[in-house]
Amino acid sequence: MRFLAGLVLIALAAASAEGQTTVFSEDMGTPAAPTSVTTYDGWQNNGILTFTGTGEVRTTEASSGYAGASGGGNVYLTASPGTNFEISGVNTSSRSSMQLTFGVFKSKIAATGSDLLLEVSADGTNYSPLSFNALPVGDGTAHWYQRNTVGSIPSTSNLRVRFAQTGSTTAYRIDDVVLLYDVPLPVTMKGISATIEAGQIHLTFSTASETEMAGFNIYRSLLKDGPFELISSYKSNVCLRCSSNSTTGASYSFVDSKVTRGSTYYYRVESVNTSGVAEEAHGIIEVLVPLLLPAEFAVSQNYPNPFNPVTLIKYQLPAVCHVSLRVFDVFGREVVTLVERQENAGHHGVEFDGSRYASGVYYYKLTAIDERGKMFARTQRMVLMK
C-alpha cells in the first residue's frame, strides 16, 4: 500500500475476527498388521484419548488425494451393520463453533456415504448425528475423499466421536480425523490512513475489536524488504496503548517527524497482546514525502551501513545533470556501474546489491555534470558485512 503527497485515506474491510485452532487430530498411526481397534496401541494419541469399537486398523488402501492425507494406517469398517469406531476423552470445554473433518474411502462406486453414520456425544448415551456432503458416484469414484461436517458439537470434558456402519453393501475406511474450533483473533484491523503535514508523516489506524491487547509497535525502513527499526512502542507512547478488551475497537495515531522530503518510507504495524506475543497487524505501508527541489548537490551516506546484502544510496541534484555512480573496491578497481545517464533535478536513490560480492570495504563515487559544465564529485565509504 502506497501513500503519496497530501491526504490519503484507505478504508479496509474488517478482517475475519476468528481463526481456527486444532482441538485434536488423529492419523491412526501405522500398524504392522491388521489389528483390532481395542488392542491396537499405535494411535497418534495413544494414552491420551481412548479408542474403542469393532473396526480394524489396516494399512491397505492408504489415504491419499486430499490435503493432509497421512497415508499410514486407517480404520476399516466392514460392510456389516453395527461395525463402529469411537474416539473418546476429547476435551472440548470452553470451545465453540467446532467442526470435524475426516478422510473416508468407499469400496463401492455407487455408495454416497449415506450408510456411514457419524455421531458425537457428551455423555456416551445420547448421540447427535453430524452430516457431510454425499460422496460422488460412478466409475472411478471408489477412492479417498475429505469431508467437513455440519452440526452441533458439544462443549464437554469428554467428547465422544463415533463412526458407525449402518449398511451391508459398502465397506468404509476412516483416517485423519481432525477437530477444529474458532478462536477470536487478538485484534481485527479496520482501516489505516497516512497524512503528510508540514513535512511530517501522520499515521492513524483503527480496530474493529480487540481481545487481551496491550498495544502496538511501529517499525520503519527506507527499504521495502527492511531492515525495519522500532521507532515507537506502546510501552512509551500512550497513543499506541490498548485497553485490553474491546468489542467496538479503538483509534490510534503516530507522528513521524524525523523524515526527509523526497524520501520514501516503509512502515509496519505490530500488535502485542497482554502475554507479550507480537504479530504483524497490517501489511507494509509505503509513504512518499512530497519533493522540494534541492538547492545544491549532495550525496548521502548509504543506509544501512554496514549492510547485507542490499543498501540504498541517495543523492540530490539541483539541476538536470549527467550522472555517474560507480562502486569500487579498496584497490580502486571498479566493481559495478549503478548509474550512467542524464537525470532531472530532484532527489534520487539507487540500491546496491552486494549478494555477489565478498565482505569488505567498498567506495561509491558520484559524479554529476550540469548543462553549464559545473561538476560535482563525491566519494563515500561503505561496508558489506555478510
**Residue 120 and residue 103 in one domain:** yes
Confidence of residue 184 (pLDDT cuts 50, 70, 90): low
The reported pLDDT for the residue numbered 190 is 77
pLDDT tens-digit series, residues 153-178 = 999 999 999 999 999 999 999 999 99
What CATH code is carried by the domain that includes residue 349?
2.60.40.2550
Best CA proximity match to 187, nearest among 234, 249, 241:
249
Instruction: Summarize the confidence of residues 92-104 as an average pLDDT.
Output: 90
- Taking residue 53's Cβ as centre, other Cβ atoms within 10 Å add up to 18
> Could you please report the per-residue DSSP string of 282-335?
S--EEEEPPP---SS-EEPPPBSSSBSSEEEEEEEESS-EEEEEEEE-TTS-EE
Instruction: Specify whether the CB–CB gap between 193 and 1 falls below 8 A.
Output: no
Q: How many Å apart are CA 62 and CA 65, to the nearest integer?
A: 10
Q: For residue 219, what are the domain limits?
A: 2-17+185-288
Q: Given 166, 183, 200, which residue is the final one in a domain?
A: 183
pLDDT tens-digit series, residues 7-27 = 333 323 233 334 568 899 999
**Residue 155 and residue 225 in one domain:** no
Instruction: Specify whether the CB–CB gap between 103 and 144 falls below 8 A.
Output: yes
Instruction: Specify whether the CB–CB gap between 375 and 367 falls below 8 A.
Output: yes
**Residue 323 and residue 281 in one domain:** no
Cis bond upstream, residue 34 (ω within 30)? no
**Residue 191 and residue 162 in one domain:** no
What CATH code is carried by the domain that includes residue 85?
2.60.120.260
Instruction: Summarize the confidence of residues 287-304 as an average pLDDT.
Output: 82
- Name the average pLDDT for the chain: 88
Of the candidate ranges 18-22, 30-34, 216-220, 286-290, the one whose mean pLDDT is the lowest: 18-22
**Residue 8 and residue 116 in one domain:** no
Q: Which residue carries 497482546 as its cell?
A: 273
**Residue 44 and residue 172 in one domain:** yes
Is the predicted pLDDT of residue 3 greater than 50, yes or no?
A: no
**Residue 144 and residue 206 in one domain:** no
**Residue 255 and residue 364 in one domain:** no
Chain-centre distance of CA 218, in angstroms?
19
Q: Which three cell numbers stand for residue 19?
A: 481463526
Per the confidence metrics, is the pTM higher than 0.95? no
Instruction: Specify whether the CB–CB gap between 23 and 183 falls below 8 A.
Output: no
pLDDT tens-digit series, residues 201-247 = 889 888 888 888 899 999 999 998 889 999 999 999 999 999 878 88
pLDDT tens-digit series, residues 70-83 = 999 999 999 999 99
In a domain, 334, yes or no: yes
Chain-centre distance of CA 111, in angstroms?
39
**Residue 268 and residue 311 in one domain:** no
Q: Given 183, 208, 224, which residue is the final one in a domain?
A: 183
What CATH code is carried by the domain that includes residue 198?
2.60.40.10
